[in-house]
Structure formats: structure tokens, C-alpha cells
């Protein structure tokens, strides 16, 4: 049984084909510049050279046709017949309050996803376009929606309700939702295994740090708070997003600069964060290099980001009543040893004692590593995330009738016998 995972962005489609019987990825890749011209596909198969092809994709349907064509290509493909694909799992960024778990997609589900697309206007429309395109190209196979927001639907009402007019929540759904749910799910369950505990006996802080950044407070195995809010703009310092700021600042700047709401939204989402501080960089490697060369704004950006990370660790330790572990994941979390060191500095009073040498030598997206000394009461792990595996297992669970929700479903990676391939 081969499961295709699709992640459709506004101008890209990521894909991965997973052989469930062999428990391994057999192909993955991305179509870039969809809808904007000069599009191309990068196709990777383990043991082969990466293949790239220029192919014009004016919409997501053409892009998904291209992916299917590539998977069954006589020279570059991995399946002899496209009928080998048993199901498709689709990432959907925002499910609102309608979806607390992954679900089989039918017309009613698709319409419900459309009903909440106003909550994620940058993300849900391309997700929807991808679903519609894939259902058109592969009409005979089941399609499953996996929601970024579902993992955080366990938050208590006092954690997700904003101190705003309550009818904004009742009329428009204004509340904290949170994102990166599949990543937080995966690494928290892996951390529980590394701790030798049942997830229900663990309090863990998960820190997904890439261009987008979010943190989750996990108590008793479920999310009780998370840093992103109604949208992915709230929370930590990110590559181009501002994160937490005084809410009066946008209105003040809008008046001072005579900006439209759309222009201001673009600045907060695309020109702020690390880019806003440095004036030139979003990639933390560039920021670290700049700081090493004496660029004061690069050094400031690193200090601001690390300081915010430290504050979230403290806040979420308080929210959970004490923690067993902190987990760093995603590109910066897995590779950025300097940022991890800066964020954890001075937290010995909390029982976090970093092994600096081990942390410095942990720059990999393949291994799970403990980076605290044996005497550290709170463990700190670097765990590479695998959101696509969550997609795949949810799809298989739904097909086999064993899936209930992320709290009770038995994921293979939540087992001590699991080995990352």
C-alpha cells in the first residue's frame, strides 16, 4: 500500500510517497513556482540522483498531474501503475473548531474546510485547490485531510479565549487555534519514548523553530497551550513574522505611514521578524555569519529570538506545573546549536543543565539526540520532525478503521521498537 502525502502552498506543492508495507519513503519532491511562471519539479528517489524538470504549472491541477506523471515515469518513477497509490493525505492548515482530528474527505468535509478559509486566507485556499485537483486527478482513491490545528483542540477554554469582546468569538471564531500540530504531535510522542514514559505521564515543551516558529505546552500528552493564535502571526520571533507585539503598534504605524490594512498585514507577515531586525536576512545561518563578522543588528536579532524562546520555556513550564523535557525541532531547532545554547543559558535553576559540547556537535536532521548532562533533571532533546509520517499513519488508520484521534491512536513512532529510516 503506497500513500501519497501532499502539502499545497500558494505557489508550491510538496509531495512524498510512502510504501506502508516496507515502512519507507520511496519518493519525494516539490513543484515550485506554481501559478507564477517558470515552474519546475525537483524529484528525489533514495539511491538515485535528484531529477529536475522545467514544466509550466499555471494551477495546482497541472502541478498534481505532473507529480503523478513523475511517480509513474518509466525512467524516473517508482510505481509501474498509478493504481498502486492507495490513498492521498492532504495537509490543511486551518480546521477551525470543526475538526479535532483527521477525516476522510467528502463534499461535506470540503465545504466545511471552505467555510473556515477566512481564518487562514493565505493557507487554506491553496490547500483547498490541492484537494480539488487531486480528487480530480485521482478520483477513485480515498482522500484524507490532516489539520495543523487539530492537535491543539485539547486546549482549555481559558487558554484559547482572547480577552476581547466575547461576541467576536461567537460570531467570527476569534480564538487561539495554533499550528504545526503534526510536528508537535510527532516530536512529543518521540520524546515520551526517549523518556521511557507513556505520553499521558509526560509534561513536555515542544519548540518548532524554522522560518515559521511555534511552541506547545503539552501536559499529560495533550496540548494545553501554544504560541501561534488565530493566525500563524502570533507568538515567537520568526523569519519574517513579528510574533508577539503591542497590538497598538499596527494602528500607530498605519496612521504614521498612511498604510492600507493589506499593506500593514504584508509588513507584519513578510517583512518583520528576523528580516525586520537585520534588514536583510531570514536564514539564521546568514544571521549567525553576520553576527560573527560584527554586524550589530544580526547579533541583536539572535539575542531577541533566544530571549523570546527562553521566556516561552519559563511560561510553559509554569502552565504545565513542571516539565520533563524540552524538545527542539524543525530546521533551526535541529541545526542551530548557537540559538539553542543562547535560549537555554541560565535555566539551571529550572533543572536544565546543557551539555555544551554535545549541543555544539548536534547539527543533524537524521538523529535524535539528548543534549543535557546526565544529572539534568529536565531533559532537552533535538528530535527531527516527520510530519509526513503523521499524515501517512492517519491515512492508514482511517482506511483500516483503527484511527480515533491523536490522543488514543497507536502511532508506530510512539513505540520503543520504532526505528527512523
**Which residue among the candidates 38, 106, 148, 295 is catalytic per the annotation?**
148
Which contiguous run of DSSP H or E holds residue 8?
strand 2-8
Q: What's the rounded Cα separation, in Å, for the pair 254 and 16?
A: 42
Phi/psi for 418 (5° steps) reads -60, 135
C-alpha 281 chain-centroid distance = 21
Concerning whether 295 is annotated as a catalytic residue, the answer is: no
Query: Minimal CA–CA distance to 9: which of 152, 156, 133, 122?
Result: 122
Query: Minimal CA–CA distance to 154: which of 174, 188, 119, 178?
Result: 178
Q: What's the rounded Cα separation, in Å, for the pair 316 and 323?
A: 8
Phi/psi for 286 (5° steps) reads -65, -40
Q: What's the rounded Cα separation, in Å, for the pair 117 and 152?
A: 18
Angle between helices 296-320 and 284-292 (to 10 degrees): 120
The burial of 157, by beta-carbon neighbours within 10 Å (0-12 exposed, 13-18 middle, 19 or more buried), is given as exposed
Letter string b/e over residues 363-386, b meaning 16 or more CB atoms within 10 A of that residue's CB: eeeeebbbbbeeebebbbbbbbbb
**Catalytic positions, please?**
148
Amino acid at each position: 500500500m503506497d500513500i501519497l502525502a501532499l502539502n499545497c502552498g500558494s505557489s508550491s506543492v510538496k509531495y512524498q510517497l510512502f510504501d506502508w508495507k516496507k515502512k519507507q519513503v520511496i519518493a519525494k519532491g516539490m513543484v515550485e513556482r506554481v501559478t507564477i511562471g517558470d515552474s519546475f519539479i525537483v524529484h528525489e528517489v533514495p539511491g538515485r540522483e535528484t531529477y529536475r524538470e522545467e514544466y509550466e504549472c499555471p494551477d495546482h491541477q497541472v502541478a498534481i498531474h505532473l507529480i503523478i506523471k513523475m511517480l509513474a515515469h518509466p525512467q524516473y518513477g517508482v510505481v509501474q501503475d498509478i493504481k498502486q497509490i492507495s490513498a492521498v493525505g492532504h495537509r490543511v492548515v486551518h480546521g477551525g473548531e470543526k475538526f479535532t482530528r483527521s477525516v476522510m474527505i467528502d463534499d461535506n468535509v470540503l465545504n466545511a474546510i471552505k467555510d473556515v478559509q477566512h481564518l487562514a486566507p493565505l493557507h487554506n485556499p491553496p490547500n483547498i485547490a490541492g484537494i480539488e485537483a487531486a480528487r480530480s486527478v485521482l478520483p477513485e482513491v480515498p482522500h484524507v485531510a490532516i489539520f495543523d490545528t487539530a492537535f491543539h483542540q485539547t486546549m482549555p477554554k481559558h487558554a484559547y479565549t482572547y480577552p476581547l469582546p466575547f461576541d467576536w468569538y461567537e460570531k467570527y471564531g476569534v480564538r487561539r487555534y495554533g499550528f504545526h500540530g503534526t510536528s508537535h504531535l510527532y516530536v512529543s510522542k518521540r520524546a515520551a519514548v526517549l523518556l521511557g514514559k507513556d505520553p499521558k505521564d509526560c509534561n513536555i515543551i515542544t519548540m518548532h523553530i524554522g522560518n515559521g516558529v511555534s511552541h506547545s505546552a503539552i501536559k499529560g500528552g495533550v496540548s494545553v497551550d501554544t504560541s501561534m493564535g488565530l493566525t500563524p502571526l502570533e507568538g515567537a520571533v520568526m523569519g519574517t513574522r513579528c510574533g508577539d507585539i503591542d497590538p497598538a503598534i499596527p494602528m500607530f504605524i498605519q496612521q504614521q505611514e498612511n498604510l492600507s490594512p493589506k499593506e500593514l498585514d504584508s509588513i507584519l507577515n513578510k517583512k518583520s521578524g528576523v528580516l525586520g531586525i537585520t534588514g536583510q536576512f531570514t536564514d539564521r545561518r546568514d544571521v549567525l555569519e553576520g553576527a560573527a563578522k560584527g554586524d550589530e543588528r544580526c547579533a541583536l536579532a539572535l539575542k531577541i529570538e533566544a530571549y523570546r524562546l527562553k521566556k516561552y520555556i519559563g511560561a510553559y513550564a509554569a502552565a504545565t506545573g513542571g516539565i520533563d523535557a524540552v524538545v527542539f525541532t524543525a530546521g533551526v531547532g535541529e541545526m542551530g546549536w548557537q540559538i539553542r545554547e543562547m535560549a537555554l543559558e541560565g535555566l539551571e535553576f529550572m533543572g536544565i543543565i546543557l551539555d555544551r559540547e554535545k549541543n555544539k556537535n548536534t547539527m543533524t536532521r537524521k538523529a535524535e539526540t539528548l543534549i543535557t548532562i546526565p544529572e539534568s533533571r529536565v531533559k532537552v532533546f533535538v528530535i527531527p520532525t516527520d510530519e509526513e509520517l503523521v499524515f501517512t499513519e492517519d491515512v492508514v488508520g482511517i482506511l483500516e478503521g483503527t484511527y480515533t484521534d491523536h490522543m488514543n491512536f497507536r502511532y508506530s513512532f510512539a513505540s520503543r521498537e520504532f526505528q527512523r529510516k
